[in-house]
Structure 1
């Protein structure tokens, strides 16, 4: 018997993700199924694994079967990597609960089970039918019940010392700590503010994991990533941080506004300092009109700038999600530019605030304008140098071109190879905001 399995997920990677699994054998077969995946883990990969588990549970163990799937993730996990994962006690293995359940179902079978890879979306009738059932499953109102239990005598306890490395052991320690550590209340609040602030811009809800990963975004400079991480953790020494410390309560008040408690939201969006207003005006003026109007971002969207993306409806670019690769690349470039402008502007506002409050230094509007322009030009130069070095990766060159399109000085006169030509001077167009 050949069994086609597939997985599907709406809003994959988002808090609103809904995964489905499809099992198809032949028309009107009683074991054809459309499954809505239960539990908090919702992804394409989980959908693929649940389809295999359910198929193995439904078909009698004495019937030889071939599982045809377009997921090399499932095939490699259950054939190439299974022994190693069991040797290391499943430490650091994503979706380990589902892989263990699938391994148990395979081992309890008395007949031969084979895996066959089929190319997805290649007009294979069985694969197309399984894909349709998976999508149908993801749209079901209620989740199905899937048995993931593994008997004790089939459960591998712990890792083999001979296979244990320092890195694997460290992953195990971190995983155990994650189960016992209670998140800071401030961090939990910031996670929610970031999630719903981003939703106002991206129209999608991010998971906690994706928000934490946003500060790893390589589109942000290392200093900006560290600063964002501290702000998300709510460990910056501003505002209420000073309130319980005797003799330092005055530091909780904004030294410029005088009568307001200072916070990151106040520093970025509310403070009356001229540098704050100027920097956001500069970002707004550099933003190309072709990407749509610049909107004033909520606090959460600034805090999660590494996850900022432009939805199709938020741009003036033609087309929709069903458009070809060129439109999607342009939209990805616009999103990358937005991440750079917002993160660099927020970081500069914070830097100037610290220099003013801690060091007593003030800056003229002209000097602030120059510092912001230099910061954006440094990012442009970094992109240019990186693209020149990655000569074997033309995709990144196209990404850089899409990112800075509409922002360059004398852009119409620049040669097409401006990224690779060191003799061509490139900088952002001049913007002035008083």
Structure 2
């Protein structure tokens, strides 16, 4: 193709191909890809390729902020833990979790920290899916990074697309909320445990529960909106997929029909706590 006839789209595609095959892997990226592959193999029984893992971070079911979070996490780009270790004081103190006095890793933040958000959110997620999910998966960082690839099998050993989608949404949103609250505590309020405002704004288990409920309700409401074929045409979500996703997981009144998507005034999800500003 002559250069004077190339389009901007073709040029960008060519540049991406060059970068794909000529840019060496970063060590942390390779480690995270391997951890993700191992976690997905443990749950699904099959190993995804690198390409499948990267494509999963672009899954339409993920919210934009979650996509960015997962993509950056796969690259090891979050500024936590060892990123600060060799810096002069006071920056080196940011390497350590002030609640647990351990080096902050993504594994620690999401699953091991004694913070209210880490202790509360995964229990909420487990309880929310318990009406349909017989066994909660053993989660680790790799499970979160590859959560759009998780598959739940039905009794016929076939993928339950609705329940798989619900699991992916709940895990991704739960992990991102833990990360967001952690960043508020460590960056916005600067870990001042003796500060009145730190105590006032540091979330309790009740507030964490309210924020988690609000986010799940937002995702369910978003699914409802995306089924509008008049507005989204061929990009609209399939109503059956949405109903299968949230089947038996919602608090619905007795008079609500099985297809609640178009029913006016339906309160979906669990909990009605008003979210803080960023979740509104």
Q: What's the TM-score once normalised by structure 1's chain length?
A: 0.56
Alignment partner of 1:370 is 2:210: yes
**Alpha-carbon offset, residue 411 of structure 1:** 6.2
Alignment partner of 1:245 is 2:74: no
Tell me, which stretches of 5 or more residues in structure 2 are unaligned? 190-200, 273-280
**Alpha-carbon offset, residue 289 of structure 1:** 3.1
**Alpha-carbon offset, residue 412 of structure 1:** 5.3
RMSD: 2.0
Give the structure 1 partner of residue 269 of structure 2.
428
Aligned counterpart for 2:109 among listed residues 232, 242, 267: 267
**Alpha-carbon offset, residue 246 of structure 1:** 2.4
**Alpha-carbon offset, residue 387 of structure 1:** 1.1
Give the structure 2 partner of residue 346 of structure 1.
175
Alignment partner of 1:385 is 2:225: yes
Give the structure with the higher percent helix.
2
Aligned counterpart for 2:100 among listed residues 257, 278, 294: 257
Structure 2 residue matching 1:291: 3-state secondary structure = coil
Residues 291-370 of structure 1 mapped to structure 2, 5 A cutoff:
291-310=133-152, 312=153, 317-321=154-158, 331-360=160-189, 361-370=201-210
Aligned counterpart for 2:9 among listed residues 159, 164, 167: 167
Distance 1:229 1:395, change over 3 A: closer
Aligned counterpart for 2:57 among listed residues 215, 228, 231: 215
Residue pair 2:243, 2:259 contacting (<8 A) in 1 also: no
Tell me, which stretches of 5 or more residues in structure 1 are unaligned? 1-158, 322-327
Deviation by residue 1:13-50 (Cα, 9 ceiling, x = unmatched): xxxxxxxxxxxxxxxxxxxxxxxxxxxxxxxxxxxxxx
Aligned pairs, number: 258
Please tell me whether Structure 1 or Structure 2 has the larger radius of gyration of its CA atoms: 1
Give the structure with the higher percent strand.
1
Residue pair 1:410, 1:429 contacting (<8 A) in 2 also: no
Give the structure 1 partner of residue 196 of structure 2.
none
Structure 1 residue matching 2:216: 3-state secondary structure = helix
Residues 276-291 of structure 1 mapped to structure 2, 5 A cutoff:
276-291=118-133
**Alpha-carbon offset, residue 388 of structure 1:** 2.9
Alignment partner of 1:419 is 2:261: yes
Deviation by residue 1:272-299 (Cα, 9 ceiling, x = unmatched): 1122111000000000433322233122
Which structure has more relative contact order (CA 8 Å, sep 6+)? It is 2
Give the structure 2 partner of residue 148 of structure 1.
none
Distance 1:429 1:250, change over 3 A: closer
